[in-house]
Amino acid sequence: MAKPLNTSSGDILADRRADYAEMLFGSGEAGPAAELMLGALELAPGWAMGWFRLGEFHEAAGDMNAAAEAWRMAQELDPADRAGAALKLAVIGKAEAGDAPPSAFVEALFDQYAEKFDHALVDTLGYRVPEFLAEAIAKARRGRFGLALDLGCGTGLMGERLRPFCDRLEGFDISAEMLRKARAKGVYDRLEKADLQAFSYDGPKADLVTAADVFMYVGALEGIVRTVAGLLTEDGLFAFSVERLEAADGFALQPSRRYAHAEAYVRRVIGEAGLAVVSIEEKTIRQDRNEPVTGLIVTARPL
């Protein structure tokens, strides 16, 4: 299991300065906050998360060169990049965007948010992907499913929708904390920790595979869609969502540090994996900073 990214420097005086910096930043004084955080880092130069926050302060103050220097230092101190510095560098144009986020970043992100995840998504952000996917599944294929695999199952929001019409339900997620929350709901027959960027499954063929609000943390979809195609029964169904990219093709990293995918790209990847599109619907899948996020609700089956 990945070691947690320290939100404390380990130095009391440095932490005190960092706390003051956070107070300044919270009141809109990004420049002075950066100066104070730099003072904290002089006392604790090996604090990766401190350098990452310094980068965010510089970014807010409009100094992208200084932000990039701080994020590169965070990467050097934490090569696994649990804070996601590489993504921030790509967003501000100081590095090429990769085809996938650092796995350690995704794991740390969801370990951190597991406790408040359901409330934040459903109640605050109006998250509706499980509802939309359940509706799309019902339209695509009537009746029960013998074995369903819920990829990136999180706390089990999708699993709660799947349970009534699946005989066996298995969930997989990169975050141990999310799996702990899912386990407490008691809707899965099996839960396993897994990184979807290198996912494999040695069980029987599945009648249904879902990935609800997951692929924005995967990036390039060729590998995982090809893997899913190999897991499905002849009449199996694959149901998933993506954030819609307003471009003719491809996928791209967004300022949110999530990936969005164009419909043409989704259709091509599905076809190249030996699957056929059953349906693609455009939906508002949640809110982000009081703005609607448009997504694609997709179902596909083997050719």
d(CA 278, CA 138): 12
- Same domain assignment for residues 265 and 126: yes
In whole angstroms, give the CA distance from residue 254 to residue 267.
21
Place of tokens 């307003």: 246
Structural domain contains residue 154: yes
Looking at the structure, do residues 145 and 271 belong to the same domain, yes or no?
Answer: yes
Instruction: Give the domain range for residue 85.
Output: 12-96
Last residue of a domain, one of 39, 63, 96: 96
Query: How far is Cα 252 from Cα 98, in angstroms, rounded to an integer?
Result: 9
Domain boundary among 96, 130, 159: 96
269 falls within a domain: yes
Structure tokens at 276: 């056929």
* 266 shares a domain with 121: yes
| Judgement on whether residues 75 and 223 belong to the same structural domain of the protein | no
- Judge whether 155 lies within some domain: yes
Q: Are 154 and 178 in contact (CB under 8 A)?
A: yes
Q: What is the DSSP letter of 28?
A: T
Q: Collect all residues with Cβ–Cβ distance below 8 Å to 131 and sequence separation of at least 6.
A: 161
Mark whether 297 and 223 lie in a shared domain. Answer: yes
Using CA atoms, how far apart are residues 139 and 34, in angstroms rounded to an integer? Answer: 53
> In this structure, are 187 and 295 located in the same domain?
yes
Q: Is residue 110 part of a domain?
A: no
Span 200-240, pLDDT tens digits: 999 999 999 999 999 999 999 999 999 999 999 999 999 99
Please give the backbone phi and psi of residue 151, each rounded to the nearest 5 degrees, phi first.
Answer: -85, 135
- Residues 87 and 25 grouped into a single domain: yes
Helix axes 12-26, 30-43, angle to 10 degrees: 170
pLDDT tens digits, 173-182: 999 999 999 9
**Tokens in use for 27?**
């009141």
Q: Judge whether 3 and 108 are in contact, CB under 8 Å.
A: no
User: Which residue, 75, 71, 13, is CA-closest to 43?
Assistant: 13
- Is the same domain home to 154 and 295? yes
Is there a single domain that holds both residue 126 and residue 257? yes
Same domain, 180 and 46: no
Could you tell me if 158 and 263 lie in one domain? yes
Residues 63, 56: Cα–Cα separation, whole Å: 10
- Full-model pTM: 0.91
The answer as to whether 52 is a domain residue is: yes
Structure token digits, residue 153: 């199952």
Is 101 domain-assigned? no
Which alpha helices (H) appear in 141-204, and where do they start and end? Answer: 157-162, 176-185
The β-bridge partners of 296 are 242, 282
CATH code assigned at 130: 3.40.50.150
Beta bridge pairs of residue 298: 240, 280
Q: How far apart are CA 176 and CA 160, in angstroms?
A: 19
- Other CB atoms within a 10 A radius of the CB of residue 141 amount to 19
* Size of the chain in residues: 303
The number of CA neighbours under 13 Å toward the Cβ of 65 is: 0
Residue matched to tokens 């027959």:
189
pLDDT in tens, the chain (303 residues): 344 456 788 899 999 999 999 999 999 999 999 999 999 999 999 999 999 999 999 999 999 999 999 999 999 999 999 999 999 999 999 999 999 999 999 999 999 888 888 887 877 888 899 999 999 999 999 899 999 999 999 999 999 999 999 999 999 999 999 999 999 999 999 999 999 999 999 999 999 999 999 999 999 999 999 999 999 999 999 999 999 999 999 999 999 999 999 999 999 999 999 999 999 999 999 888 888 999 999 999 999
Domain count within the chain = 2
Q: Do 215 and 291 belong together in one domain? A: yes
CA distances from residue 295 to 70, 102, 132, 267 in whole angstroms, order as listed: 33, 23, 11, 14
